[in-house]
Amino acid sequence: MQTKYNIVKQAIKSKILDGTFQPHQKISSESELMKQFGVSRHTVRLAVGDLVNNGWLYREQGAGTFCADRTQENNNTSVGNQKNIAIITTYISDYIFPSIIRGAETYLSQQGYHVSLFSTNNDHDNERRFLEKILTQHFDGVIIEPTKSAISNPNINYYLNLERQNIPYIMINAYYDELEPLSITLDDEKGGFLQTEHLIELGHKDILGFFKNDDSQGPKRMKGYLKAHRAHGIDINPSNIVTYKTEDKYDKPVSDLAAILDGPEGKRPTAIACYNDELTIALLDVIRERELNIPKDISIIGFDNSFLTNVSEVKLTSIKHPQSEMGEVAAQKMLSMVSNKHSNGKSNKNDLTSVVFDPELVVRSSTGLPKNK
């Protein structure tokens, strides 16, 4: 798959799909491409030749190579009257994503739509691949959970091209600030606030916070954590905040917590606020190994109120995430955008506004009064 000519081919294709090359615009000459990619002319010709054969480009001897106009052609490759909606999420198989997807899938399916699922595994390259597919083939709309939403996105041009091609999209869980899309989210800041406030109201003052930092939910939940401290006039110990990237989620938080628990006992925090339930379950093992009792020795609170709150001997206090409801609302909005497109403008204003779900605290047995109180 990673042949040189394929790399060149994909690079050119990307520039067509993200709108850098407009129809009938001249693209770089063969010698320029040779320099750009450091390959031989033959390799360039292979790449361009393939794209010509597939209708992406056309060549004119002596003049150059040009971007083809695919606007009419798309009709042919489209699936006719088939109704397709794509759902792109970071994961389809882990944690609460299945629930979110089910909510959307059930609704769309009932309305007679085909649902195609793609998971990016939190990788921008995959996200780009899927956006290319959606731009190339016929889709009526896309429900997207952004990949690494806290980091600036290299595929912004693809989203803009979706707008140009009049393909509606909705973002769920998070959104890219640059785009200001229609979005269905949870009020993560308030969720973080509720989480921490719950612990503070129980009497905790030394609260460890674990937050992911490469999606936009993490920083927002952390903001809520900080706000709750300020609102209750409690000083924040900077060393009580641990952040981690998605790639490190299985190691860093666990080893960091271990280090803290093995540190001087006096400085040991009495409670932990976690980015989500998945992390909470992982941290439980660290606490168990040290034979600390939950919640007597230490309180811990999750986020998302997933099925994981219920699988362990300690039932987790958590913050309710709408999950399948979020998926369903996204699906409903999507379909009203689709029908809007067809009925050209007649808009139910209600349907075209973003939704922010209100988080709720769900108290179970993992949180309690601090020990020395």
Binding string, residues 212-231; x marks residues near DNA by CB under 7 A = --------------------
**Which of these segments, 88-96, 185-193, 215-223, 224-232, binds its own copies (CB under 8 A)?**
88-96
Helices (H), 124-209: 124-136, 156-164, 188-202
Residue choice 92, 226, 236, 363 for contact with its own copies (CB under 8 A): 92
Residue 6 engages its own copies in binding (rule: CB under 8 A): no
Residue 311 engages its own copies in binding (rule: CB under 8 A): yes
The C-alpha torsion from 165 through 166 and 167 to 172, rounded to 10°, is: 120
Helix (H) or strand (E) holding 86: strand 84-89
**Which of these segments, 27-35, 115-123, 159-167, 194-202, binds DNA (CB under 7 A)?**
27-35
Residue 15 engages DNA in binding (rule: CB under 7 A): no
Q: DSSP code of 136?
A: H
Q: DSSP code of 247?
A: G
Using alpha carbons, list the distances in angstroms from residue 19 to 22, 125, 146, 161, 250: 6, 17, 20, 6, 38
3-class secondary structure, 147: coil
Report d(CA 291, CA 288) in Å as an integer. 5
Residue 38 engages DNA in binding (rule: CB under 7 A): yes
Q: Which is nearer to DNA, 53 or 71 (CB)?
A: 53
Residue choice 17, 283, 308, 329 for contact with its own copies (CB under 8 A): 308
Name residues contacting its own copies, limited to 113-132 (CB under 8 A). 114-119, 129-130
Residue 336 engages its own copies in binding (rule: CB under 8 A): no
Residue choice 15, 20, 39, 151 for contact with DNA (CB under 7 A): 39
Buried b (16+ CB within 10 A) or exposed e, 316-344: bbbbbbbbbebbbbbbbbbbbbbebeeee
Residue 165 engages its own copies in binding (rule: CB under 8 A): no
Q: DSSP code of 317?
A: B
Q: Which is nearer to DNA, 30 or 206 (CB)?
A: 30
Residue 79 engages its own copies in binding (rule: CB under 8 A): yes
Residue 41 engages DNA in binding (rule: CB under 7 A): yes
Residue 107 engages DNA in binding (rule: CB under 7 A): no
Q: DSSP code of 352?
A: G
Report d(CA 253, CA 241) in Å as an integer. 11
Residue 63 engages DNA in binding (rule: CB under 7 A): yes
For residue 80, give both structure tokens.
Answer: 């006719």
**Which of these segments, 53-61, 116-124, 159-167, 212-220, binds DNA (CB under 7 A)?**
53-61
Residue 6 engages DNA in binding (rule: CB under 7 A): yes
Contact residues toward DNA (CB under 7 A) are 3-6, 29-32, 38-43, 45-46, 59-65
